[in-house]
Amino acid sequence: MTRSFEPDATDRAILRLIQRDAALSLAEIAKEVGLTPTPCWKRIRKMEQDGVITERVVILDPEKVGLGVSVFVAIETGDHSAAWIETFASTVAKMPEIVECWRLGGDVDYLLRVVVSDMTAFDGFYRRLTAQVPSLRKVTSRFAMERVKSTTALPI
Amino acid sequence: MTRSFEPDATDRAILRLIQRDAALSLAEIAKEVGLTPTPCWKRIRKMEQDGVITERVVILDPEKVGLGVSVFVAIETGDHSAAWIETFASTVAKMPEIVECWRLGGDVDYLLRVVVSDMTAFDGFYRRLTAQVPSLRKVTSRFAMERVKSTTALPI
DNA sequence: ATCGATAGTAGGAAAATCTTTTGCTTGCAA
DNA sequence: TTGCAAGCAAAAGATTTTCCTACTATCGAT
């Protein structure tokens, strides 16, 4: 099986740039990578079509919009059935405070990052979560004191 | 102290839209929120100047660029001095595999998310990390089996 | 093997189209 | 009546399309 996307050095250079600043104009991107706007645009469009680039978004300052509290919630479940997993996944999808949810290997089954305005809001979230999801064996919440680093740019 | 940014319902509607799709044209955004392009553009520019919108980026599919492995690394340190914290923070900043680093309250001091291509690459990362950062009392690595949810959109 | 024809890939120039930005005007509310 | 916020229209700028060229690899006939 051959991959439909085989990025060359130029593709990766483009990705490195627009992962950090998608507001760059084609002219600027092209200049950086040593091309003219047209082939550069064609490469970007291809990477969008191939699903390499999945979205274009703006990133907000959580503090500035009053959502400065991140909480990591580690979950161990007592029920590993398909039905439980489905309930859990659909609950996670529906709760916008949950910005990340990972299934892990090892002692912890799931790790969530939850974004809220304050502790009171987190308590409300916690009650809703535990009310909706059955068979939670252990739920451990850890509050983030400081965001040391947070980037959407993958190390290409 | 008055906040320099007091978003109204329209500002929030704009943010909700462009948090999910920053490729929308002003005409489309304006139509959605019930304005014409100009005032809409002025609001967005103001939010950029106020630092509410911090960046515009593209998001990549980690699998498609060969970086499908996320590992959570929980760190307990034996040294809480300012000098240690500085060493640690600068190491974190320099290692592009670390896409998130949070300082937590409670038993775990720091939680990292590390993005790599495979286990071998993680092992290389792990060796470099532990070689660079002194006084690590406990380092626990948990591999992500599945990305259940991951969004950059804050619940505004 | 060598030649030429052919198809596929990547780049570039220019034109067309669409978006963003600016300047100016209007309406509304304090 | 003064100060915002919105709107309109035109200008400036960016994106997208079209068309063309250059290079490379493949294939068949000689």
Q: State residue A140's pLDDT score.
A: 98
Helix A9-20 with A26-33: angle, nearest 10 deg: 140
Q: Which residues contact B33 (CB under 8 A, 6 or more apart)?
A: B10, B13, B14, B17, B40
**Residue B4: which pLDDT band, with cuts at 50, 70 and 90?**
low
For A155, the closest of B53, B67, B143 (CB atoms) is: B67
Q: What is the pLDDT of residues A27-68, one digit of tens each?
A: 999 999 999 999 999 999 999 999 999 999 999 999 999 999
Q: State residue A4's pLDDT score.
A: 63
Q: State residue B3's pLDDT score.
A: 60
Q: State residue A62's pLDDT score.
A: 98
For A102, the closest of B70, B103, B108 (CB atoms) is: B70
Evaluate if residue A1 carries a pLDDT over 50: no
Tell me the Ramachandran region of residue A135: left when phi exceeds 0, alpha when psi lies from -120 to 50, beta otherwise: left
pTM of the model: 0.94
Domains of chain B: 9-49 (1.10.10.10), 63-143 (3.30.70.920)
Q: State residue A3's pLDDT score.
A: 58
Q: State residue A2's pLDDT score.
A: 45
The pair phi, psi for residue A117, each rounded to 5°, is -80, -35
Q: State residue A6's pLDDT score.
A: 77
Distance (Å, rounded) from C-alpha A19 to C-alpha B62? 12
Amino acid at B83: A
Nucleotides of D under 7 A from a protein CB: 5-9, 13-18
Contact at CB, A59 and B57, closer than 8 angstroms: yes
Which uninterrupted H or E stretch holds A41? helix A37-49
Nucleotides of C under 7 A from a protein CB: 10-14, 18-23
Q: State residue B69's pLDDT score.
A: 98
- Residues 7-66 in B having a C-beta less than 7 A from any atom of strand C are 25-27, 37-38, 41-42, 45
Q: Which residues contact B94 (CB under 8 A, 6 or more apart)?
A: none
Q: What is the pLDDT of residues B90-136, one digit of tens each?
A: 999 999 999 999 999 999 999 999 999 999 999 999 999 999 999 99
The nucleotide closest to A10 (CA, C1' atoms):
C10
Give the gap in angstroms from C-alpha A101 to the nearest C-alpha of chain B: 5
In this structure, are residues B67 and A7 in contact, taking their beta carbons and an 8 Å threshold?
no
Q: Which of A149, A29, A69, A90 is nearest to B92 (CA)?
A: A149
